[in-house]
Structure formats: C-alpha cells, structure tokens
Amino acid sequence: MGDKIKEVFYSLCHSDFVSESYRQLLIKIFCFLAILSIIPVSAAFVEEAGKNVRVGITDNNFQNVLRQQVVVYATAESDICDKDGKSLLHVEPNTDIQVTNLLSGMEVIVGGLGATLNEFNIVCKSGQLGVRGLKRKGKQALYGGMFEFVQEKEHRGFYLVNVIDLEEYLKGVVPNEMPVRFGLEALKAQAVAARNYVLTPRTQAYDEFNVVDSVASQVYFGANTEEDLATRAVMETNGIVALYNHEPILTLYSSTAGGYTESYSNSFSDNLTGVFPSVPKPYLTAVPDKENFGMLDTEEKAKEFYSSKIPSFDIESPYYRWQKEWGVGELENILKKTLVAQSKTGFINPAFRENDTLGKIKDIKVMKRGPSGKVMELDLMTSKGCYRISKELVIRRVFQKDGISLPSANVIFEKKLDNMGNITDITAYGGGFGHGVGMSQFGAGYMATKLHQPYYNILRHYYKGISLGTTPVSIIGKEVEQNFWAPVGRAHIVIIGPSAPKINVMINGKTHELSVNRPFFQKETKIDISRLIEDGQNKILFYPSYLPMKVYIELVESYNTNTNKNLINNEESDR
C-alpha cells in the first residue's frame, strides 16, 4: 500500500494542473503520514551534528580521567555557572578554583569561601582555562571553551570535561597527531580524519564525554600547543568530513602502515559481539602503496617484504622496518606474564592462568595473515601445550621487549637452533607502527611533500570509495546552517530521501530556489551549485522542509588515479 500512495503523491506533486499552494499542502500531508509511519520511509535520518565536542581531560601521565581534586583557573574573568548556564559566582582572572570530590557532591572553594555543588561549569568568554600543574608538551595546559565538572555515578570521583567548538578542538589535535613538517596537505588530511574520528568514534567508553585527550582516542593538548600551519589546515578543511554511502566514516589512522595498510576486519574485533575477525568496512580495506606489491598473506611473501626496505610512501618513518631479539629464556619469562594479562581479552586459547606452567618454547607458527602480511593468528607451541593467539593488538602485547609491545603485527619470527634442535634465540622482523588500518600518517606526509598530492587524493588513497563533504543533516521542520571550505570552488547539494520539486537555500548571503529534477521518491539526487560558491570558505543555509530528507554538500575535486605511478616516477627522478 505504501508504494501505491507514493505513486499517487508523485503524480499529483508533479502535475501541471496542481497549484503551488495545493502542492505544498500535499507535501505537508505526506510529511505527517511519514512521521506516523503510514508511508514507510527507508532511511534513518540523522540529526544535525553538534558543533561542540566533550573531551575528558586526563592527568600528566595521560592515564587517569577520574579525579578526586583539581585546581583550575581562568586567564580572564570567568563565571561558575549551574548546568543551565546561570552564573553562581563571578571570578577574577588567575584566581584558584579548587574542586574536591565528596559523597554529597563536589566542594568548590574560591578565595576561602566554599560551597557544595552537583554538576557545574566554568565559563571564560574572553580568555582560556587552565589546570594547575597540568603540562602538555612541557607547557602549561590551556583550553578554550568551558570546563564542565561531572561527578561519577557512584560518586567515586569526578570528570573534568572540556566542552569546546569542534573546529577549535581540532586546532589542538592536528599538530599533536602529526608533525607540521609533513606539510599543509598532509595536515589537511589529518584534520579531516580527526574531524571524522570525533564525530564517529569506534567506541565511546564514557557516557559523560565523547573522547579523551590521549592516544586512547586522539591526542588533544589544547590551545597552548597550536601551530599556525596546522590551524590553517583545520580552517581550509572547515566543515568537511569523509563520507561513504552518505554517512561519516570511521577514519582510523596510525603512524606507519609499513607500505601496506590492512583491512579493518582483520585487525579489530566487533564492538558488539567481540568476535574476531569483525564485520568488514568497505572503505577500510587493505591498500598497498604500489599496485605491484601483491598480497602478502603467505610466509614467503611477508618475509620478502618486511625483511627489506622496498620503497613506499612510509619509507621515511623510523618504524618503516624494525627488528627485535630475545634469548629463549628471556622470551619465556616475558610470556609467563604477558600471556596471563592478555588471556583476559579472550583471544588466547586456551587461556593461560597465573599458576600455569609455560614450559619450553618449541615453535612460533603464524597460522593466518591478512593481505598486508599482518598476523591475525599464531600458535605458540611449548613443551606443555599449544596456545592460539589472535588479533593484532593482543599479539603485539604478548611479544614484548623491555616492557614495550611490538610496534606492529606485521612481523616474521625467525628461530636460531642449537645442535640438538632446541631454540636458543628468536628474532622478529617487522614493519610499521600501530594497527595499520586506514591512513598512514608518515605515508600522508610523503604523499604531500614528495608527490605533491592534495589532501583529498591522500584521503582517497587510504579510504576507498569515499566522497568528501559536510555532515548529512535532516532539515525536516528546521533551518540548518553549514560552513564548508571548497578547495576548487566546485560542489553539489546532495538530497537523500523524498524531495519536493524545489529546494530553498541561502548560499553566501543570497537566497536561491533550486529545481530538483528527479522523481519525487527517488532515493538520491545532486544539484550542481558550483556557480554559486567561491574558492575557499562558504556558508549555506538550508530552509526547513516538510519532507523527511537529509541534505549535505559534496565537494567535487579532480582525483589523480595514477598516484602509485607518480610514486615510481618520483623515486626514479630523486635518484
């Protein structure tokens, strides 16, 4: 019945015999029916993404986010406000505000006077907020936005949360996640990846905030560590995210892929079920830096690749290739501890318990590799049994050296034997640093500085099948404003879901009524607005719709598909 109703509405809305006022009435009726689910609407329409990010601030060791006491201050006049924004106390610049956890709330002491509060904020409109004794990059930590104090549910402590505009947050992330020497275009790629990451994190461990300020999420050191070039990169990608199938993607990235990134499913377990390998993500697939690398899923191919320095985008990384060595007794002592700790993850079978006997190492045999050569499963064989170890992070943490995990799971194990055939030494040859999924930061730097690739080419190399644009938003019954930077002055409006024959927008201060040349219930359409936008910063206001549709801006840029060939040519000319 739904399809028949759709056909009737389509024919009426596009009939030359229907007046504009009657057409608008029909659209309103359709919207009402859609909301009541009388007419099925297939898309789950996304609300407008908030402009603020909530960041949990950790201690100097980037370990603890739950606090018992903290002293904060503002560099200019500030206010202590309740959760509704009402000022409770005006505070002079550089005045200490001590907050202590209590079972009954949080004790706040300013100038010798105290009060017990539940949730509250500290707002400094013309300055920055600091935490006494907290350092970032050897400097006093300072933050824009506001501080929010949220007590943990069981009152075991409280969280210090920096609530800050998304773009301002990124200015404190990009130069701390990527060296500015990697160049503007690499920094732009990092800005987009970081923007995506905070909007669609892989996991959110806390209800009270979106991300933490450490490598557990992405590194955010605040306003005192901003760099001009990184700030420019944020500004010149303003509002832009990476999209797949009209949704922001999970933009995982790591320091060094080693010349070949890995598929998401081969590196991570499923968030909901815990199963490994996880469900694939089509935009996070294994990508070689050169097409002729081929699959590295056998021992022979992995050994050939990771025991030599084959030129690739990552070649300038200090972790491009690495080596670790153990005496057999040394490694056995390490494994007695790491196997116990990592058995708690559920990815060691059988689990190794505190009082279990390991025995002597007889062999380390890789059972499964991904296309990049990343170890997915291996068997540790000892005189007391065989342990199947799965998942790249678990493998890295099991085979530690001097208390440090392996840089990556792109690794080959070689054994040295005595005259009796017993193992005496073990050497691990490997490449890369981190999980190796998505963008390689050193690779992005190489592509930007050596191959002179724009940021969108870098992103398209590492995230397959993506488009770049603003966050898709619903405009049903509300206006939505979006700011975006168009690097080459070309863009489309993308409409997803049922649409009226026309859409009303304001672009850079001028109102436009744009025709939607497609059937009423067609899933998607694009309207070229290149003639209406400018190179650089643009602003669009979508006027309310009576229809449940999503809209966003999609950038149109030239993408050089010969990136791998350019690498080869560049290397030959460099010689």
pLDDT at 169 over 60: yes
- Nearest C-alpha neighbor of 325 from the set 394, 436, 424: 424
Note the pLDDT tens digit of each residue in 467-502. Answer: 999 999 999 999 999 999 999 889 999 999 887 888
Whether the upstream peptide bond of residue 350 has omega within 30° of 0, thus cis, is yes
DSSP-assigned letter for residue 468: E
Give the whole-angstrom CA distance, residue 262 versus residue 239: 28
d(CA 240, CA 199): 12
DSSP state of 526: E
Q: pLDDT: is 45 or 387 the higher one?
A: 387
When pLDDT is averaged across residues 390-402 and rounded to a whole number, the result is: 97
Closest CA to 173 of 238, 222, 100: 222
Q: What is the pLDDT of residues 423-445, one digit of tens each?
A: 999 999 999 999 999 999 999 99
Average pLDDT, rounded, for the chain: 89
- pLDDT tens for each residue of 171-199: 999 999 999 999 999 999 999 999 999 99
Given this model, what pLDDT does residue 531 score? 96
Write down the pLDDT at residue 563: 46
Question: 458-486: string of b/e by CB count within 10 Å (b at 16+)?
Answer: bbbbbbeebbbbbbbbbbbeeebebebbb
Convert the pLDDT of each residue in 230-247 to its tens digit.
999 999 999 999 999 999
- Cβ neighbours around 200 below 10 Å, total: 16
Q: How confident is the model at residue 66 (pLDDT cuts 50, 70, 90)?
A: very high
373 pLDDT more than 80:
yes
Q: What percent of the chain has pLDDT over 90?
A: 78
Residue 262 has pLDDT above 80, yes or no: yes
pLDDT of residue 207: 82
Residue 566 has pLDDT above 90, yes or no: no
User: CA 497 to CA 147: how far, in whole Å?
Assistant: 39
Q: Is the pLDDT of residue 1 over 50?
A: no
Token pair, residue 338, equals 């790491």
Distance between CA atoms of residues 413 and 521, nearest Å: 57
Confidence of residue 382 (pLDDT cuts 50, 70, 90): very high
The average pLDDT across 27-36 equals 50
Asked whether the predicted pLDDT for residue 518 surpasses 50, the reply is: yes
Residue indicated by tokens 């907050």: 99
Q: What is the pLDDT of residue 23?
A: 56
